[in-house]
Structure formats: structure tokens, C-alpha cells
Structure 1
Amino acid sequence: MKDQSVETPDTHLPAIGRALSCRTRLTLLQSLALGEATVGELVERSGSTQPNVSNHLAVLRAAGLVSGRRLGRSVRYALASPQVADLVRALTAVVPD
């Protein structure tokens, strides 16, 4: 029997697709492409509520697109890798002007 907990491209790509399927999450990724930010900063930039931004960040983290590092009482979020930054740039580039 196959272990369902093992991440493979077949299981990870759909999670990334789901994470990218939401306008708010795309906005957060575009914001993080400019540099790391706290939830409060992302709330200001996106116009969403704090609980909404936190929930979307959890989805992006689970998909491996965003990482967080604790600094005192706050967490600074950033894109998880240069490849994610490339993905955000590529997605932004295909949007017509």
C-alpha cells in the first residue's frame, strides 16, 4: 500500500495549484516578492483583514510557497525560495496590460 503522506510532484503540484487559485493569495505573493513582511504589513498592503491574511498565509506555507521566521513576538514572512520568486514574476508577466 502506498504511503499517502509522502510528498511527490503528483501530490505537491495540486497543492500549489490550489494555493495559486485565489486572488488574495496571489496578491500576498506579489507583495512578498517585494520583500518580507509581517501579517500587519500584509494586511495594510492587501486591504484584507488580519484573520483572512493569516488563513491565506497558512495555505501558502502548506504549499511550500511562503516561509516565516520569528523575530521576537512577530513573524516575518517571505517567499520560500528563488524559484517561487521566479514563479510569481512569470505569473505576473502573463497578465495582459
Structure 2
Amino acid sequence: MKPMTLEQVPRLRRGFRLQFEPAQGCHVLLYPEGMIKLNDSAGAILGQVDGSHSVAEIIADLRGRFPDVPGIDEDILAFMEVAHAQFWIELH
């Protein structure tokens, strides 16, 4: 697997859907075989993954929304790398 670049545009993998689940009190990632319960940070990141914004644009947006979080750039990249390795997202 090639390393992620800031210019790449992530999107949810086909068959995956992000939604807020009131019964769970959090965002979940639904897919044909089940559901992944996400923490608030993961939900905020995947909420930006729409197939039209680059990794750099997503980081910039979240950095603007959460300016007091130290190391947010690295945290977002680390999560996106895990999401890609788990085949939750595709990079284009």
C-alpha cells in the first residue's frame, strides 16, 4: 500500500455509510457486514470525507474548527491511514 499524500482525495469505500445513530449516541460507520461505532474525533474526520476534498483541505478545515487541539494534523493523518488500511476509505 502506497503512503497517503496530502493531495489525495479520500472517499468512503463503496458500501460504507456514515451516520449519526441516536441509540448509540455517536456516529457509526455502516457496511454490509456490520457497524463500527466511532468516537467523536473519528466521526468529525469521516464527516469531512466526501470524495471532493483533499486530505490537506480536510486537515485545514478541522484545524480551523478545533484550533486549540495540539498535534491535530498528525492525529488526523494517523486516523486516515488506519481508516485506509482497514478499507473504510479509498484515496484518489
The interval holding the TM-score normalised by the smaller chain is 0.3 to 0.5
Larger Cα-atom Rg: 1
Compare the two structures and name the one with the higher strand fraction: 2
RCO higher in structure (CA 8 A, sep ≥6): 2
Compare the two structures and name the one with the higher helix fraction: 1
